[in-house]
Amino acid sequence: MTTTRTFSTTRTASKPGEPTKTKRKRKAFQVSYASWWWALPALALVIVTIYVTTVAGGFFAFTDWTGVGSFKLIGINNFTKIFKSKELLGSLVNTLFLAGGFLVATNVLGVLFALALNRTLKTRFLLRTLVFMPAVVSPVAVSYIWKFIFAYNGPLNQFLAAFGVPPQTWLGNPTFAIWCVLVVMVWQNIGFIMVTYLAGLATVPAEIEEAAALDGASTWRRFRSITLPLIQPSMAIAVTLTLLQGLRVFDQVMALTGGGPAGSTQTLASEVYQQTFTYQQFGFGAAMALLMSALILIMSIAQQWLTRDRSEEA
């Protein structure tokens, strides 16, 4: 009985039905084919919620749909209406101003904080945590905190009153309001950009900087010639993220000013929301959303080209 069982096991193992290489390919194909079945629900959800809705929005951008009932195609009338309206052009200017100011200020301050908290300070881990903390708070919550700070009887005016500065209506002044929105955006995102640059600075060899310092290179020269080229990948990521976030700013505007006063802080994103859900002009809102998407795409491609790695070309 024992001999028979051993022989049967040996025979089964020594008589493969097909070559080993073919069996491995078949097994890999079965695993790959099965993984697609597991991914189908998530893939279908992404297609429906992103691509189908995007195509539908692009279609309604050329209609006069009000959200209910029938509609008719009106060509590019919605787009011509956008460029003829001074209010909508003002929202485009505000969007570009906030995006440009946010990109420059956040990246400059993020680099400075990253350089300051990179290696030498003993308390750098605690300070990194404190700087990064605003990034994990909801933008709406941060905006309401700063709305209290900017209030007429708020902490900012009370602090300035100690130096003889009269109180200001920061969020009610068309000149100051957009700067207040920019301050809140920058303050909340410095920590995240700092962490991005810290990841890049971790790849810079300390020996190279020390050798350059021994050769008499100044701090600025070491940063410009050594540090900056080596952290270029981190810079590309940080610039891309800040550009995209600045072009689609919405939460801070709605929580701080609601687009006022007198439309001085209105952006494309807040204008899309207002035209679509307040005025029930879904076709016109879709046209503005399509224009904003095209603007983001064009500026993202331009930014990627400007911050590309030129080492291979050299």
Q: What is the pLDDT of residues 86-100, one digit of tens each?
A: 888 889 899 999 999
84-88, 90-94, 111-115, 237-241: which range is least confident on average? Answer: 84-88
Model confidence over 51-61: pLDDT tens digits? 888 888 889 88
- pLDDT at site 25: 63
Q: What number is the average pLDDT over the span 192-221?
A: 88
Percent of the chain with pLDDT over 70: 87
Q: Is the pLDDT of residue 310 over 70?
A: no
Q: Is the pLDDT of residue 311 over 70?
A: no
Structure tokens at 129: 């945590």
313 or 296, greater pLDDT: 296
> What is the residue-wise DSSP string for the chain?
-HHHHHHHHHHHHH--SS-HHHHHHHHHHHHHHHHHHHHHHHHHHHIIIIIIHHHHHHHHTTB---SSS---B-TTHHHHHHHH-HHHHHHHHHHHHHHHHHHHHHHHHHHHHHHHTSSS-TTHHHHHHHHHGGGGS-HHHHHHHHHHHTSTTSHHHHHHHTTTPPP--TTTSHHHHHHHHHHHHHHHHHHHHHHHHHHHHTTS-HHHHHHHHHTT--HHHHIIIIIHHHTHHHHHHHHHHHHHHHHT--HHHHHHTTT-STTTT--HHHHHHIIIIIS--HHHHHHHHHHHHHHHHHHHHHHHHHTS--TTT-
Q: What number is the average pLDDT over the span 220-240?
A: 89
Task: Name the nearest CA neighbour of 291 among 268, 258, 259.
Answer: 268
Q: What number is the average pLDDT over the span 161-181?
A: 93
